[in-house]
Chains A and B, each alone.
Chain A
Amino acid sequence: MEPTYQKESHSTLTLSINGDTHLFALGEGCHEVSPAHTLAFTLRERLGLTGTKISCDHGACGCCTVMMDGKAVLSCMLLTIECEGKVISTIEGLGDPVTGSLDPIQQSFIDHTAFQCGFCTPGIIMSTKALLAENPSPTRGEVQDALSGNFCRCNSHYHVMDAVMAVVRKDG
């Protein structure tokens, strides 16, 4: 029996990603956004923004970390349809694509080779970005806590800590 409550009040969805606005049709069609699609899926499969990675897909590894309204969140555990009206930043939004200039965090990661396979790196950089936006002078322990939800298996942790603390010292 068809439920009698309200249907979808709209058939489109507008997302703000890295300062750009994107209009999507809602639905189950092959280029549409389904209510069951996670933000991670939409970023990667509908917008081609594959910088956000999916590893565990269950909110336990942080590889899919993006910023939403200034806070680090797990895009694999967010429904795209619930992200309307939010300001979303992904790894692609750091730095300036026109001039090629990088965010200081990105530059520091390059300088310290703060990665090995690089799969977890965008998630770690986004968590770092969220931390430094709120707390520009964290202690080493606060950085570790801010990254506590980010998985790295090659074990680049030590170089990551060097890279982040170098940014903190530069700004501080």
Chain B
Amino acid sequence: MKAFTHVNARSVDEAIQLLVQSKGRAKLNAGGTDLLGVLKDRILPDYPETIINIKTIPGLSSIEVDEEGINIGALTPLVDIISSSLVKKNISLLREAALTVASPQIRNMATIGGNLSQDIRCWYYRYPDEIGGRIKCFRKGGKTCPAVSGENRYHAIMEAKKCFAVCPSDTAVALTALGATLNIAGSNGTRTLLVEDFFTPMGNVLTSDEMITVIHIPKPLHTARQTFLKFTLRKPIDFAIVSAAALITLEEGVCNDSCIVLGAVAPLPVRAFKAEEFLRGKELSEENAAEAAGLALAGAKPLSKNAYKVEIAKTLVKRSVMG
């Protein structure tokens, strides 16, 4: 890799201060499983001068419960989330999502904060600079999105604007379904937002001097049935082609409440509000699940090569609802 300076941050404040001082020419390194790939391929026009290690910040890797819910430190490795009995008992949806990420080695290294803030996987965006030069697009100061009329089999089928890459994070889908919020610290103080509001088509909302510190999953911790489904060509390694998370509260075969979220169909996790509305008070049956699935995808606007994702998404909604 091209050279950079390296610093170990010893506190969140120090990390933020370092980000401010670097004027956008530094990057935070958590697990490194996304950042190092970005750097090796030189996909971005600007290469950081400094890498700030945030694994050296104490207190950011933890899973705790209090009267408001569960708090997970942003630097908690995915493997710890998977092995946590607290998570398994109360928010198993998150565990199921984390289990589908990449490979055991990656899960040992990657953190939940990193999984949420990882860069998009669009293969135009990720095209390696060494094979004829990186590809420009809206995100890199260009004026087009080459995917829109090109090879877009993995790209968004809804809610995209300018950039058609999907949100690649599996944990984001589960956390959205769980109603999770993120604590973000920056030079202007801290702020809290819903997970799904963290993402926009042109990138996440972090400014150049911010970092996620805590992920908060509010009570009531669900007694609902939690199902996470991820469709890929291969079970490990692959990013989701489509994913779905469903929390279904059942009483004697009737769906009292549900929370259905679609992943990898848009630049952000998508709540299927119309589907949830339809299911409320209805008997849980194949027909109703299928109709809910149709409603969930009613707003889909597939591109030239990704219409198949609509079908798969409908199937995943149906199957995750049925459990």
Asked whether the complex places CB atoms of A and B closer than 8 A, the reply is yes
What residues make up the interface of A, taking CB atoms closer than 8 Å to B?
3-9, 28, 34-38, 57-60, 62, 65, 71-74, 76-79, 81-82, 127, 130, 145-146, 148-150
Check A149 against B7 for contact (C-beta < 8 Å): no
Q: From B1, B21, B103, B109, name the one whose CB has the most chain A CB atoms within 10 angstroms.
A: B103
Check A149 against B105 for contact (C-beta < 8 Å): yes
Q: With A77-B109, A81-B6, A82-B29 as known contacts, state yes or no: A148 contacts B17, CB within 8 Å.
A: no
Check A35 against B40 for contact (C-beta < 8 Å): no
Check B108 against A73 for contact (C-beta < 8 Å): yes
Q: How far is the CA of A78 from the CA of B105 in the complex (A)?
A: 11
Q: How far is the CA of A65 from the CA of B108 in the complex (A)?
A: 12
Q: How far is the CA of A82 from the CA of B32 in the complex (A)?
A: 10
Q: Does B55 contact A (CB under 8 A)?
A: yes
Return A160 CB to nearest CB of chain B, in Å: 15
Check B18 against A59 for contact (C-beta < 8 Å): no
Check A3 against B22 for contact (C-beta < 8 Å): yes
Q: With A8-B7, A73-B109 as known contacts, state yes or no: A38 contacts B49, CB within 8 Å.
A: no
Q: How far is the CA of A72 from the CA of B107 in the complex (A)?
A: 9
Q: How far is the CA of A71 from the CA of B104 in the complex (A)?
A: 9
Check A148 against B103 for contact (C-beta < 8 Å): yes
Check A35 against B6 for contact (C-beta < 8 Å): yes
Check B55 against A62 for contact (C-beta < 8 Å): no
Return B283 CB to nearest CB of chain A, in Å: 35
Check B104 against A36 for contact (C-beta < 8 Å): no
Q: Does B138 contact A (CB under 8 A)?
A: no
Check A38 against B104 for contact (C-beta < 8 Å): no
Q: How far is the CA of A127 from the CA of B108 in the complex (A)?
A: 12
Check A71 against B55 for contact (C-beta < 8 Å): no
